[in-house]
Amino acid sequence: MKHTRLFGIETEYGCLVTEGNNARASDPIVHRVKNHLFHVQKRGLMDLHHRAHDEPPGNGGFLLNGGRLYIDMGHIEYASPECTRLSEIVAFDRAGDRLLHQCLAEMNLQEDASFIKNNIDYETGATFGSHENYLVSRDFPYTQDGLGRLVPFLVTRQIYSGAGRLGANFVPDGYILLGEAEFPKIPFQISQRSDHIVSDFYQWVQFNRAIINTRDEPLADPNRYRRIHLLMGDSNLSEFATALKIGTTALVLDLIQEGLAPDLALHSPVDALKHISRDPTRQWEIYLEDGKPISALDIQHRYLEAAKKHFSDFDEDTNWTLNAWEETLNDLAGNRENLVGKIDWVSKLWLYENFMKEEGLEWDDPWLKSLDIEYHNINPDKGLYFGMENEGRVHRRTTSDSIDSAMAAPPVETRAAGRALLIRKLVKNPAPYIINWTSVYIEGQDLPMHDPFQTYLKEAKQFLKG
């Protein structure tokens, strides 16, 4: 039986400063925006306590929408609140974009700086993460075999979740050695993160970027829940791609939970991840552990067929995901132009090819690098994705009104509702507090929130009265 899912997205933003751009030029902007959001707009509450050795008081805090915004290694990171529906996660993901740009606009900084929702800095080699979180039950098969059933799906998922990028990371003299494979220098690849993933499983995020992060940090009752933390995906601008990425991954986790996932162990997952991203033929052929060749499309179809067989008509989100998944795979096989405005890498490549044709450019023209960055600019007056949106070329999964609502109010079916109620009261009537994902302390009194599927609204109201 399919399980109720809960998920969230953490987005790290690049900050592009118009004048004097260097490795440290964005630091003052980032801190000013954070302070404006909390102190001037009063969108939430800054932490009064140390959260970790690198998160001092005032480094960030929880928001009125139940999410969290903070500074991580010099860049702003926004974590959505806990969501249960695809339209919800899309709206709250985009709410983070809008919150940041609104701060820049109110501070008259939109001509001096831009926030970029991508994953790479072409000048410094720095990377920015896009992390996905999925809550599963504690009895989820968190084993080499269980997680191994997830890896082939994640390796091949980039054919519709990739954001696309120019060139490759640090390619000397046309070639780069990555694991067991040698890849030629190419002008365009479909994923921004694939070059930076170096292992299939690893516990610590900071030291070894892996396909699956195995740290056991449920941020919920550890006796009942576990959190699947993924950091190999790209940041998506496309609402369709975001919903499809989250929806398909949640279904595959359901398959694994029920022992129904295909057994498709790959020969070398990390090399396969890079090969798919870099394959200029878009055939995406890789190898199974037994040496047999198989395409990324075939692997995705295997997972799709299993999900259709067991989960069809479970709910609206499931049906949308299954239909969108199948249509996307079919279009990738033969009608890629249908995916312009749906899949980020396809949309970006379409923009490149049209611009190069109009201007008579080659792939090595630096103008294209500027286009790549501007595709991800969250300023709706500058970002190329938003230009496509304004022209009606993109497929929407939410509305402008729902994004505005997600900036200020939490999801109504998770503990984010109770957390946000307490934050709103504290913004109006300050008192000593400590706020975490799993609990809120006010003046020494503790309200635990260990079940993410409870709203805790009744408990929060009673807590305030007490």
Parallel, antiparallel or unpaired: strands 181-184 and 175-178: antiparallel
By annotation, the residues acting in catalysis are: 72
Residue 302 and residue 449 in one domain? no
- The reported pLDDT for the residue numbered 410 is 98
**What interhelical angle do 296-311 and 151-161 show, nearest 10?**
100
- The reported pLDDT for the residue numbered 175 is 40
Residues 221-254 pLDDT 10s: 999 999 999 989 999 999 999 999 999 999 999 9
Give the CATH number of the domain where residue 329 resides: 3.30.590
Residue 352 and residue 431 in one domain? no
Residue 117 and residue 213 in one domain? yes
Query: Which pair of structure tokens corresponds to residue 194?
Result: 């694939």
Residue 76 and residue 161 in one domain? yes
- β-bridge mates for residue 228, sequence order: 134
Residue 269 and residue 252 in one domain? yes
Domain end marker among 381, 408, 435? 408
Which residues, other chains included, contact 330 with Cβ-Cβ below 8 Å and sequence gap of 6+?
A: none
Residue 425 and residue 328 in one domain? no
| Residue stretches of the chain with pLDDT short of 50 | 1, 171-182, 203-207
**27 to 75, 266, 379: CA distances (angstroms):** 8, 42, 19
Residue 89 and residue 132 in one domain? yes
Flag whether 211 is in a domain: yes
- The reported pLDDT for the residue numbered 249 is 98
Domain end marker among 368, 386, 408? 408
Residue 271 and residue 307 in one domain? yes
Which residues, other chains included, contact 204 with Cβ-Cβ below 8 Å and sequence gap of 6+?
A: 213, 215
Residue 221 and residue 341 in one domain? yes
Kindly state the helix (H) or strand (E) to which residue 68 belongs, with its residue range: strand 68-72
Number of domains comprising the chain: 2
**Residues spanned by the domain of 13:** 7-408
Query: Which pair of structure tokens corresponds to residue 23?
Result: 């490795």
Q: Strand (E) positions, 125-215?
A: 130-137, 165-166, 175-178, 181-184, 188-189, 199-202, 210-213
Flag whether 236 is in a domain: yes
How far apart CA 328 and CA 421 sit, in angstroms, is 40
**212 to 133, 149, 153, 230, 377: CA distances (angstroms):** 11, 12, 12, 5, 28
Flag whether 1 is in a domain: no
Residue 379 and residue 450 in one domain? no
Residue 118 and residue 166 in one domain? yes
Residue 183 and residue 250 in one domain? yes
